[in-house]
Structure 1
């Protein structure tokens, strides 16, 4: 197979949780462009407004990653999938000494437990076919601590660190079944989740990034395509930081 052919997703089906907006939608667009059939999962039907314009032939699913029954129903509608992207996530910015316990639990439940539940539902079917790709969207916040003046969201950082550990552990456990489990660790990209933070701290982020800027739209999708395509069939249990060199400091 020629090199570029290894990035084709023709005949593949991908489900992206949190795929209605932000980085999840960007990744979904990249997978669709590469030839995959795409299903998007979001909590509310109203969230799909932008996605409907960009991927009108996608399957739009309303569901909650915190609810295993809801996820089971979504997967049943999608049918067998080759690729799962766990992009659903939330954050909460507040001094770690003050953040309410219910917010800590909510962030961990959505970002970690939700990814775990979706992954094992997908893996049960992937196991029977001997092949599958699971991509978790982690963060550089899961690889290193952040000064409060850059980001004050300890529960989010904890959840992304846990997601990275889950990625590595499931890669070991499910590798014998032909299931590859990897993660992306994005740096700072302009999204709805980061817009308020970057309005205050973008200059600090630039100063802490060797490339001297935040990420651009489209720069994560290509990395995701690599980890979701046959091009990475000998890669599992890895965390790829797409961060302008931030974690190299």
Structure 2
């Protein structure tokens, strides 16, 4: 019975060494705060000039700079004595343009930040994840990857790339004991969403059967599940958090 019980733990294993990119953002900050309260060690990586969670080491790096990103991951591995889990949560969602007038430089920058940087970090963490024997990698994507997002073709395309990256790495690295999954949230309680006019938010929520945005805790809980022994038989999967929006014709953003 003890073995059965331990297999169903829904938090990262005791003693786990977890690295979180995008650790200073709303979701990243919440995740590192929760992890810091568990019996694990955690280090964050985020852009220069940011402030992380109290008590959690924060390594500053521009993750769109390949060399800086690799160095940050190596520094985190040295700091923790290895890596048992990596959460790829860094990204941006700043550029809004119609596709027919989308500046190529802005499109390229969005893809570099939301997709290429994720791959560079995962590639840099691979030796440590493999050395751990049994490890987990969780990417943050978005339901925009499947539903599309008007005005944000670059973001939706990059997040769709993250889904393809998730499945490809899962297939390649499963023999190394590395599980690779992704969480794809819809609207959740970020400062930008909470600051939206009620009329705009109500319009977006009209096609969400649960009629609300997700809480940060619900998104964090999904990441923790995929990091945990309870998900030990799960790899190459996309956990979609959309309040049932995928059940409605046309999806969340129609």
Structure 1-normalised TM-score?
A: 0.89
Larger mean CA deviation between 59-68 and 6-15 belongs to 6-15
Task: Report how far residue 241 of structure 1 moved.
Answer: 0.8
Q: CA deviation at 1:219?
A: 1.1
The answer to whether the aligner puts 1:133 opposite 2:131 as a matched pair is no
Q: Does 1:182 align with 2:181?
A: yes
Quote the residue 1:118 is aligned against.
121
Residue aligning to 1:99: 102
The answer to whether the 8 Å contact 2:9/2:228 transfers is no
Shift of the alpha carbon at 1:120? Answer: 1.0
Q: 1:15 aligns with which of 19, 30, 44?
A: 19
| 1:9–1:31 CA contact under 8 A, matched in 2 | no
Give the Cα–Cα distance (whole angstroms) in 1 for the partners of residues 37 and 225 of structure 2. Answer: 13
Question: Displacement, 1:15?
Answer: 0.9
Structure-2 change in CA distance of 1:17 and 1:65 (3 Å): same
Task: State the match for 1:70 in structure 2.
Answer: 68
What is the deviation of 1:192?
4.0
Q: Which residue of 1 aligns with 2:159?
A: 160
The 2-side partners of 1:228 and 1:159 are apart by 23
Does the aligned pair in 2 maintain the 1:96–1:154 contact within 8 Å? yes
Shift of 1:6: 5.1
Q: Distance in 2 between matches of 1:235 and 1:198?
A: 39
Indicate the residue corresponding to 2:85 in structure 1: 83
Q: Give yes or no for the alignment of 1:210 onto 2:213.
A: no
CA contact (8 A) 1:9 1:34 kept: no
Conserved in 1, the CA contact under 8 Å of 2:179 and 2:234?
yes
Question: Over aligned residues, Cα RMSD in angstroms?
Answer: 1.9
User: Helix, strand or coil: the match of 1:182?
Assistant: strand
Cα distance 1:198–1:214, how it changes in 2: closer, same or farther (>3 A)?
farther
CA distance in 1, matches of 2:198, 2:117: 29
Deviation at 1:112, TM superposition (A): 0.5
Say if 2:12 and 2:227, in contact at 8 Å, map to a contact too.
no
1:145 to partner: Cα distance: 2.3
Give the TM-score taking structure 2 as reference length.
0.87
Q: Which shifted more, 19-28 or 207-216?
A: 19-28
- Checking the alignment, whether the CA contact within 8 Å between 2:16 and 2:85 is kept in structure 1 is yes
CA drift at 1:123: 1.3
Unaligned runs of 5+ in 1: none
Distance in 2, matches of 1:5 and 1:230, equals 6
Give the gaps of 5 or more residues in structure 2: 249-254
Query: For the residues of structure 1 that align with 2:14 and 2:233, how far apart are their CA atoms?
Result: 19
Shift of 1:171: 0.2
Kept in 2: contact 1:205–1:213 (CA 8 A): no
Work out the CA distance in 2 between the residues paired with 1:185 and 1:95. Answer: 23
Aligned length, in residue pairs: 239
Mean Cα deviation higher: 64-73 or 183-192? 64-73
Please state how far the C-alpha of 1:31 moved relative to its aligned partner. Answer: 2.4
